[in-house]
Structure 1
Amino acid sequence: MRRRLAAAIIAAAALAAAHPLRAEQASPRDLWPQALASARDGDYADAAKKTSDLLTAGHAYGVKTYPVYATAAAGLARESAKATPELSAWAAKAAHDLDPASPSVAFSEADRAAAHGEWGKALPLVAQGFARVFGNYRARTLGHADLLLVVALAIALTTVVFAIALFFRYGRSAAHDFRELLGTRVHGGSVTVLAFAMLFLPLFLWLGPMWLIFYWLAIFFGYAAPAERVVAIVLLLLVALVPIVVDADATGIAGIDSPVMQAAIASNEQSYQPEAMRRLQELLAIVPDNATLHLLLGNLQSFDGMEEQAAQHYRRAIELRKNYAGAHVNLGNLHFLTNEFPAAITEYEQAQADDPKLAIAYYNASVADGETYKFDQQARMLEKARGADPGVIDRLTRNPPPQKIVMYHPPLDEAWAITRELSQRKELASLFGNYAQFAPAASALNPVTLGALASLLLAVVLWLAHRRGGYANACIKCGRTFCHRCKSARESSTYCTQCIHIYLKRDGVSLDTKRKKLEEVTEHHSGMQTRNRVFATFLPGSAQMLEGRTASGAAGMFVFALLVATAIFIGRLAPAIGPVADVAHLIVRIGAVALAVVLWLTMSLPVYRRRVTG
C-alpha cells in the first residue's frame, strides 16, 4: 500500500513539474518594460535576464514571437548605435530573439549596418528581409497590394501611350474620312478645320483628357491592324478593371489592420499583440454575439496568461455556436495546462464529436492520454489524428510545440469574411479599422470603367458600321491620305495615285514631278524618324508602337512603366517592408532604375540606328 502511495506521489510530482501552473509566470506586458528600463539604466545583465524571462513566459503561454517589442528593440539598436554601443548591441540581440523571422528587424539591422559603412553585411540582411516578407502574412498582403497599385499605374500609362501612337498613325486618315463626311453638308475651307476638330471632340465638349484617350481608341479602332485591335481590346478591358481592382486593393490594405484581422493574424502566428487584444475588446463591446470573435479574444488572453477570462470567452463562443469544435479544443487546452487531464479529455472528445475532421482534437487527446499513462488510447487517438490530416500531424510529431498541445486558430479566410460583414454595420463605422468595405457593383459604377466599356462598345459598333465602305488610308511612301472615293479600288491600297505611277508602274512622269515627289517622300520619312526618336528617348516601346510593332512595343512600354513606378513609389505606398527600410528601398530603387536603363538601351537604341528610307 505504501509503495502504491509513494508511486502516486512521485507521478503527481512529475506531472506538476512537467506542467507548471502558468499563473506563476509574469505577464509579457510587465516583463518587457522592465527589461527596457534595465537596459536604459546600463544594467544589461538584468535586461538580458528579463528578456529571457519574457521568452520563457511566452513558451508557457504559447507565444512564439513579439513583433511589436522586436520592432521597438530594432529601432532602439539603430538610434543608439553611435551614442551607446552597448545598448545598441543588447537591443539588436533582443530584437532577434523576440522575433527571429521579422522582416522589419532584418531591414532595420541592414540600415544600421549601412550607417556604419558595412555594406557587405547590409546587403545579405536586405536579402534576408525580403525572404522573410513571404513568410509574414501582413507584409505579404501589403506587398501584393503595392504591386497591384504599380501595375495599375503601368497599365494606365501604356494605354495613354498606345492611344497617342494610334493618333499619330491614323489621325490623318481619320481626318480625311471626317472631311469626306462633313463635305456633303459643309462647304468651303471650314471643312478641314471641322475635320481636325472632330479628332479632339471630347475637349470641345468640355470633357477631360481621359475621355479623349477613350475617344481615340474608339475612332481609330477600325483603322488599326488586327494586332492593334487585339491590344486595344485588352487594354480597354484592363483599364475597365483597374478602378475595381484598386478599390478592392485599398479595402484589403485597410482591412489587414482591422481589429478582426489583427487578432486573427496574431492568433495564427502566435504573436504577442497587446494592441490587438484591446481593439478586439472594443469591438466585442459593440458586437457581443459573434462566436469567432470570442474565440479570438480568448486566444489573445491566453497568450497574456489570463486563463480565467479566456475560459469565459471560450464558453461564450460555445453558447453562441453549439457545435464549435475549436472552442472546445482551446477550453480543453486550458484544463491540460493546469493538469486537469480528465476535464481536458472531455473537451477534446466533444470537439471530436462536433468536427470529426479536426485533427488537432485527436492529437491533443493523444497527448492528454499519454500524460495519464493510457498509452493504448494514446496510440488510437494519434492514428485517428493522422487519418484526419496526416500532413499536420507529421509536422507536429517531428517538431512538437512547447506546450505539447495545439491551439485552434480560426482560418484567416473566416476572419476576412467577418471583417466584410462587420463593415456593413452602421454602428461600427466610428470604430477605427471597421470602415473597409468593398462592393463590386458600386465600385464598377465609376467614370473610368464606364468610359472604357463605352469606348470598346463604340469601337466595335463603328468598325462594324464602316468596314464595308472601307476606311481612308495613308500612302506608305509620302503619307498622303486617300479613300475609295479618291482612287480606284483596283489599284494598290498602300500607295497613293502618284506613287503608284512613279514606284510601281514607272510610266511617263516628268523629272520635275519625280523630284518633288522624292523630296516629299524624304521629308515624310525624316519626320517620322524624328518623331520616333523623340518618343523612344522618353518612352521605350512607344517607337515600336508607332512603327506598327504593337505587341513588342506595348510589352516594353508596360515593363518600363512598371519599373519606373516601382522606383518612384517604393516606400511611399502601403508599408509592406516596414516603416524604416531605407537600404531596402534604395536597393529596390537602384535595381528598378538599372533594369529600366537596360530596357531603354534594348528598345530605344535600335530606333536611333535606323536610316531614312525613301
Structure 2
Amino acid sequence: MNPVTRAVLLVCAVLAASPAAASVDEAWLEVQEVLSAPEGRSLQEPSDDLIKEAEEIDVRRMTPYAAALVSWSFANPEAEGSVLETIIAIDPELPASYFLLSSRSWRQGGYFESASTYFKGWMASFRYEVTRRHLLLSIEVWLIIGTTAASLATLLVMMFRTLRRSSHDAMTVGKKIFERGNAVVFGLVLLLLPLFAGLGPAWLAVYLFVCGWVYLAPSQRAVAIAICVVLALMPMLAESWQRSLLREPAVTDRVAVMLDERQLNPSALREFFGLKEDFAGDSTYHLILGELLRMHSAVESAKLEFQAAAVEPFGDARSLVFLGNMALEDGNVQLAIQYYDEAIETNSLTALAYHNRSSAYDLNRRFEQGDVARARARELAGGRSASLGVRGRDPRIRYPTVSSDDVREFVSGLTEEEQLRVGLSAPSWRSARQFLSPISILFWGGGLVGMGLLFIRSRWFPPARECTKCGKVYRLDDEPGESPIYCRQCVSVFLQRDLVPIDQQAAKLAQVRRWDGWSTVVRRVASVIVPGSAQIVQDRTALGVGIALVAWVALAGVIVWVPRFLEVIEPTMPVRPVAVVLVLIFLAAWMRSIIASWQRR
C-alpha cells in the first residue's frame, strides 16, 4: 500500500471515528431516514439539526450533502418542496436546487416565481466553482465558433463583392502585356494563381479576398484586416481552450475556495492530505490542513496538524490558538491557558490569543486576569474582539481565520517541482505555436499579401470602378469622359441627354433596369443567407459586422452551445428558455438584415 493510500484511509478512519463528526453524520443520517420513510415524516427538524451542527463548526456550504439531495429530488420530482428548500439552506451556491425549484413552480402555475428562481439558478451557476469553470469554458468555445463563422461569412461577402472588378483588372494587365487571346489566359492565371501554385481552394478564397481590398472603402478595409487577424488567432485560441478544458483546477485553488466559503469538500481534502509527506516541514501547509480537518470534524487529526505547525521554526501563533481553543472546548482549561501563553510569546499582537485566554481565565475563576486579557484583546482588535475570526462550538470561543491568503503564501514558497505536485503549472507558450499552423499561416500570410498589394496598387495601378447606375466595370484611364461615379455611357445618357439619340437612351435605361433588378435579387438573397451582408455592401460596416456577429453567435448558441454544453454542464437546468432567447436574437438580427436589403438604394 503506497503512502498516499495510507494517508487517505487514515483521513477516512478519523472522519468516521471522530465524536464531533458523528453529530453531523447522525444529523445527515436522520435526513436520509426521513427521505426513505414511507409515512412521509417532516424534513424540517432533521434538516434544522444538520444546519445547526454545521454552524457550530462555522461551515456554510455542505456541498456533498446538497448534491446527494439534488440527486434524490431529480429522481423523485413529485416529492415535497421542503427538500429543495433544505438544499438551498445547506448550500446556497449549488445551482441545481434553484432549477429544480423553478421547474416545480412552473408546473404549479407560479410563473413569476419560476422565472425569479430560474434567474437565481443562473447566478448560482456562475458562483458555484464547478459550473462556473465549465460555463466559462463553454462560452469561450461558443464565441470562438460564432466569431469564426461571422468572420468567414463576411470574408466571402467581400470577396464576391469585389470579384468582378478584380477580374476586370486582371484582364487589363493581361492586355497590356499580351495580345487578346493570350491576355485572357494570363488574366485567368493571375486571378487563379493559388490553384496553379497547388495551394488549394482555401488559399484561392483568401487570395481573391485580399486582392479586393483596394476596391473597398476605408472602413471596409479595416474590417477586412481585422478578419484576417481574428481568423489567424483562432487556432491558437482553440488550442488554449482545449488545454484549459483538459487541465483540472489545482488542489490549492479548491482548498482556497473551501476556506473562503467555509465549504465541505472531502475529495479536495483527501487530495490535499495526500501531499502530507511532500510538505511535512511546511508550517503553513500544516496550518491549512489542520483547519480543513477541523471543518470536516476530524478534530483529533486537526490537533496533530496544528501541533506539527507549532513546532516548526518561525511557526504561526495561530496554530497555538487553535490548540488552545480545542483544549478549552474539551474542558482542559489549564492546557488551553498554556497554549495561549505560548501564542502570545510567539506573537504578542495576537488578539485572539488574549480574547480566548480571557474566557479561559473566567472559567478558571481568575476574573481580574480575564478582564486584563479582555481589555488587551480589544485594544489590539481596535474594538470588539468577539467579532474576530470564526466561531467555535462554544460561542465565546473565536478561532483564527485561515483563508486563501494563506494558500497563496503556501504556493509562493513552493519550488517549480512542488507546484507541479499540487497541480499548478507555469504558463505555457505552446499555444502560441499554433500561430504557425497551416490555418493561421493562411490568414496572416494572406493579410501580408493583401497589404502589399494594397500599397502597390494604390500607388501604381489604381483600381477599376463600378458604375453606380448600370454596374459596368471600367477604368478611369481607359477612355476620356468617364467619372468616378458613372461610366462614359451613363455620363452621356443621364448628364448629356440632348446629345444622345432616343434609341440609345432607351437601350441604356433597359440595361440599367436589368442591372438594378439583378443586383437587387443578389443583395436580398445574400442578406437572407448571410445576415449583415446588405449593410456591409452599403458601406455601413459597423452595423453590418455587428449584425453578423450577433446572428452567427446566436445561431452557434442554438446549434452547439445549448445542446452540447448546457445540458451536460447542469442536467437540471431547463435549457429551452435559453434556446428560445437565442432564436429570438437570431431572428431579430436576421430580419434587420433582410429589411435593409429591401430598402431602395
Tell me which interval the TM-score lies in, with the shorter structure as reference length. Answer: 0.7 to 0.9
Aligned to 2:542: 551
Aligned to 1:525: 516
State yes or no: 1:35 paired with 2:35.
no
CA distance in 2, matches of 1:243, 1:352: 57
Evaluate the alpha carbon distance shift between residue 40 and residue 496 of structure 1 in structure 2; reply closer, same or farther with a 3 A threshold: same
CA distance in 2, matches of 1:210, 1:266: 50
CA distance in 2, matches of 1:97, 1:465: 70
CA distance in 2, matches of 1:581, 1:417: 39
- Following superposition, the deviation at residue 561 of structure 1 comes to 1.8
Q: How does 1:305-316 map to 2 (within 5 A)?
A: 305-313=297-305
Unaligned regions of 5+ residues in structure 2, if any? Answer: 1-17, 329-335, 363-369
- Following superposition, the deviation at residue 536 of structure 1 comes to 1.9
- Alignment check: 8 A CA contact 1:563 1:593 kept: yes
Aligned to 2:585: 595
- Alignment check: 8 A CA contact 2:320 2:343 kept: yes
Aligned to 2:318: 329
Evaluate the alpha carbon distance shift between residue 483 and residue 43 of structure 1 in structure 2; reply closer, same or farther with a 3 A threshold: same
State yes or no: 1:457 paired with 2:448.
yes
- Alignment check: 8 A CA contact 1:228 1:550 kept: yes
- Following superposition, the deviation at residue 311 of structure 1 comes to 4.3
- Following superposition, the deviation at residue 545 of structure 1 comes to 1.0
Evaluate the alpha carbon distance shift between residue 179 and residue 270 of structure 1 in structure 2; reply closer, same or farther with a 3 A threshold: same
Task: State the secondary structure of the residue aligned to 2:399.
Answer: coil
- Alignment root-mean-square deviation, CA: 4.1
CA distance in 1, matches of 2:583, 2:193: 38
- Following superposition, the deviation at residue 163 of structure 1 comes to 1.1
TM-score (norm 1): 0.77
- Alignment check: 8 A CA contact 1:157 1:561 kept: yes
State yes or no: 1:259 paired with 2:229.
no
- Following superposition, the deviation at residue 186 of structure 1 comes to 5.7
Of 219, 223, 230, the residue aligned with 2:222 is: 230
- Following superposition, the deviation at residue 424 of structure 1 comes to 8.4
- Following superposition, the deviation at residue 533 of structure 1 comes to 1.0
Of 91, 95, 115, the residue aligned with 2:83 is: 91
State yes or no: 1:54 paired with 2:47.
no
Aligned to 1:495: 486
CA distance in 2, matches of 1:280, 1:65: 19
CA distance in 2, matches of 1:188, 1:290: 85
Question: Could you list the per-position Cα deviations for residues 566-598 of structure 1 after superposition, in whole angstroms to 9, with x for gaps in the alignment?
Answer: 333444465699522342x22122122223323
- Letter of the 1:586 counterpart: R
State yes or no: 1:280 paired with 2:272.
yes
- Letter of the 2:580 counterpart: I
- Alignment check: 8 A CA contact 1:78 1:112 kept: no
CA distance in 2, matches of 1:132, 1:514: 71
Q: Which segment drifts farther, 48-57 or 283-292?
A: 283-292
Task: State the secondary structure of the residue aligned to 2:544.
Answer: helix
- Alignment check: 8 A CA contact 1:564 1:596 kept: yes
Aligned to 1:218: 210
- Following superposition, the deviation at residue 544 of structure 1 comes to 0.8
TM-score (norm 2): 0.79
- Alignment check: 8 A CA contact 1:533 1:607 kept: yes
Aligned to 1:157: 149
Aligned to 1:408: 402
Task: State the secondary structure of the residue aligned to 1:266.
Answer: helix
CA distance in 1, matches of 2:155, 2:198: 19
Evaluate the alpha carbon distance shift between residue 167 and residue 268 of structure 1 in structure 2; reply closer, same or farther with a 3 A threshold: same
CA distance in 1, matches of 2:456, 2:411: 48
- Alignment check: 8 A CA contact 1:545 1:553 kept: yes
Aligned to 1:7: none
Aligned to 1:18: none
- Following superposition, the deviation at residue 419 of structure 1 comes to 12
Q: Which segment drifts farther, 306-315 or 154-163?
A: 306-315
- Following superposition, the deviation at residue 463 of structure 1 comes to 1.6
State yes or no: 1:71 paired with 2:67.
yes
- Alignment check: 8 A CA contact 2:23 2:53 kept: yes
Evaluate the alpha carbon distance shift between residue 605 and residue 575 of structure 1 in structure 2; reply closer, same or farther with a 3 A threshold: closer
State yes or no: 1:171 paired with 2:163.
yes
Q: Which segment drifts farther, 253-262 or 433-442?
A: 433-442
- Letter of the 2:586 counterpart: A
State yes or no: 1:368 paired with 2:364.
no
Evaluate the alpha carbon distance shift between residue 111 and residue 543 of structure 1 in structure 2; reply closer, same or farther with a 3 A threshold: same
- Following superposition, the deviation at residue 95 of structure 1 comes to 1.4
Evaluate the alpha carbon distance shift between residue 311 and residue 452 of structure 1 in structure 2; reply closer, same or farther with a 3 A threshold: farther
Aligned to 1:541: 532
CA distance in 2, matches of 1:185, 1:352: 93
- Following superposition, the deviation at residue 515 of structure 1 comes to 2.8
Query: How many equivalent pairs are there?
Result: 562
- Following superposition, the deviation at residue 526 of structure 1 comes to 1.7
Aligned to 1:561: 552
- Alignment check: 8 A CA contact 1:28 1:304 kept: no
CA distance in 2, matches of 1:508, 1:416: 88
- Alignment check: 8 A CA contact 1:244 1:444 kept: yes
If asked which structure has higher relative contact order (CA below 8 Å, sep 6+), I would say: 1
CA distance in 1, matches of 2:386, 2:235: 42
Evaluate the alpha carbon distance shift between residue 350 and residue 587 of structure 1 in structure 2; reply closer, same or farther with a 3 A threshold: farther
CA distance in 2, matches of 1:285, 1:205: 62
- Letter of the 1:549 counterpart: R
Evaluate the alpha carbon distance shift between residue 128 and residue 510 of structure 1 in structure 2; reply closer, same or farther with a 3 A threshold: same
Evaluate the alpha carbon distance shift between residue 333 and residue 424 of structure 1 in structure 2; reply closer, same or farther with a 3 A threshold: closer
State yes or no: 1:103 paired with 2:108.
no
- Letter of the 2:88 counterpart: H
Task: State the secondary structure of the residue aligned to 1:26.
Answer: helix
Question: Could you list the per-position Cα deviations for residues 482-531 of structure 1 after superposition, in whole angstroms to 9, with x for gaps in the alignment?
Answer: 2354235x852232222232233446333333333222222222222111
CA distance in 2, matches of 1:283, 1:201: 61
Q: Which segment drifts farther, 406-415 or 92-101?
A: 406-415
- Alignment check: 8 A CA contact 1:221 1:229 kept: yes
CA distance in 2, matches of 1:162, 1:140: 32
Aligned to 1:133: 125
- Alignment check: 8 A CA contact 1:540 1:599 kept: yes
- Following superposition, the deviation at residue 296 of structure 1 comes to 4.6
Task: State the secondary structure of the residue aligned to 2:459.
Answer: coil
Aligned to 1:26: 22
Q: Which segment drifts farther, 205-214 or 121-130?
A: 205-214
Question: Could you list the per-position Cα deviations for residues 254-299 of structure 1 after superposition, in whole angstroms to 9, with x for gaps in the alignment?
Answer: 4464433333322322111112223334455677787766555433
- Alignment check: 8 A CA contact 2:142 2:561 kept: no
Q: Which segment drifts farther, 402-411 or 596-605?
A: 402-411
Q: Which segment drifts farther, 559-568 or 292-301?
A: 292-301
Task: State the secondary structure of the residue aligned to 1:222.
Answer: helix
- Following superposition, the deviation at residue 126 of structure 1 comes to 0.1
Task: State the secondary structure of the residue aligned to 1:261.
Answer: helix
Question: Could you list the per-position Cα deviations for residues 535-572 of structure 1 after superposition, in whole angstroms to 9, with x for gaps in the alignment?
Answer: 22233312111222111100111122222223334444
Question: Could you list the per-position Cα deviations for residues 60-100 of structure 1 after superposition, in whole angstroms to 9, with x for gaps in the alignment?
Answer: 33311112321321232232133xx3xx4453243122213
Of 451, 464, 473, the residue aligned with 1:481 is: 473
- Alignment check: 8 A CA contact 1:145 1:253 kept: yes
Taking only the aligned residue pairs, the percentage that are identical comes to 20
- Letter of the 2:224 counterpart: A
- Alignment check: 8 A CA contact 2:528 2:593 kept: no
- Alignment check: 8 A CA contact 2:169 2:464 kept: yes
CA distance in 2, matches of 1:532, 1:394: 74
Aligned to 1:605: 595
Question: Could you list the per-position Cα deviations for residues 154-192 of structure 1 after superposition, in whole angstroms to 9, with x for gaps in the alignment?
Answer: 321221122112112211111222223344556554654
- Letter of the 1:561 counterpart: W
CA distance in 2, matches of 1:289, 1:456: 57
Question: Could you list the per-position Cα deviations for residues 184-241 of structure 1 after superposition, in whole angstroms to 9, with x for gaps in the alignment?
Answer: 5565546546645655555665656654554344322222211112222333333344
Unaligned regions of 5+ residues in structure 1, if any? Answer: 1-21, 354-360, 388-392
Task: State the secondary structure of the residue aligned to 2:215.
Answer: coil
Evaluate the alpha carbon distance shift between residue 32 and residue 518 of structure 1 in structure 2; reply closer, same or farther with a 3 A threshold: same
Evaluate the alpha carbon distance shift between residue 570 and residue 396 of structure 1 in structure 2; reply closer, same or farther with a 3 A threshold: farther
